[in-house]
Amino acid sequence: MKFHLPLPLLSLVALLTLSTPSSAFYRGFNIKSNLADGTTCKTTTDYLALLTRLKTFPNSLTSIRLYSTHTCNTLLSAIPAAISTQTQILVGIDIHHANYAAEKGALLRAINTYGWEWMLGVSIGSEDLYRGTISPSDLAAKIYDVRGMLMKTPGYTNDVRVGHVDTTNAWFNASNSAVVRACDFVGADIYPYFQTKQNNSIANAEKLFWEGVEQVKTAVGKASVGRKAGAPSVWVTETGWPVNGATKGLAVPSIQNAKTYWKGVACSTFAKTGKGLNTFWFTIQDWRAVPSFAVLGEEGEVLFDMSCP
């Protein structure tokens, strides 16, 4: 079920009210370029419906992460909806050789069209070190390349963070230190569900999550020794628990376990004090996927209570 709402005219007021959230951390969801059917590209109307729905969730969620700029015309389709709903975007750049130039071009066109206020940062690639599809030195070069392009664009400030998103194992690997040193932020994808070599039961999942966060922080700190700017900040760019699919080790997918994981992990990372972190949950709606990590079902229904104390 899609929620179709009329797209209001983009106003100067909407642009000016986009800024860093009033609380200390970015809180939001990962958003795919396709609808939940996995094939149909989202339109601006689709993004507006989704971001309007996001505003009805508890916890003042004001941010989203996108995986691409060019594929499905993602960025230029999403930005009008983001501005209209006062949502900020962590931009994703696909660094695959065939797409990289087009992805950079789409980002530049978006900035030239809509300015900077809608953007909170840029991730150069996603889980590329984990997959082994690029060398650390080549990935670092792309991070510097995109940052250099942004720095030459009118209106740029250092508030626009440029980094990379990868798995915890990739960040633990000291051979990837060149990437760490190139980043303003390090995005960690943490899924206890897949950690089958450990006790990954739902009862232990929150503990595994925080161990992952602390281990990434330690690895990033070691890789940053002597770096003039200090260690990059660590963000949680993906985490979640599946509502269906196969059991992995002791991890059982279910709506109840997804709720338990949300209440333990999301409610602590979304907190304004204490353990709060910049966090992007996976995901709003992917009901055709198996396993599915969605918080909304096929008809747009909320699958579990997402309120936090």
* Residues tagged active-site: 127, 238
- Helix, strand, coil percent values for the chain (each to nearest 5): 40, 15, 45
CA of residue 131 relative to chain centroid, distance = 18
Helix ranges (DSSP H) in 120-197:
128-131, 136-151, 168-172, 177-182
Compute and round to an integer the Cα radius of gyration of the chain. 18
Angle in degrees, 0-180, between the axes of helices 74-84 and 100-114, rounded to the nearest 10: 30
Number of residues that this document lists for the chain: 309
Alpha carbon dihedral 300, 305, 308, 309, in 10-degree steps, equals 150
Rounded-to-integer distance, Cα 64 and Cα 86, Å: 11
Nearest to 199 by CA among 211, 214, 183, 213: 211
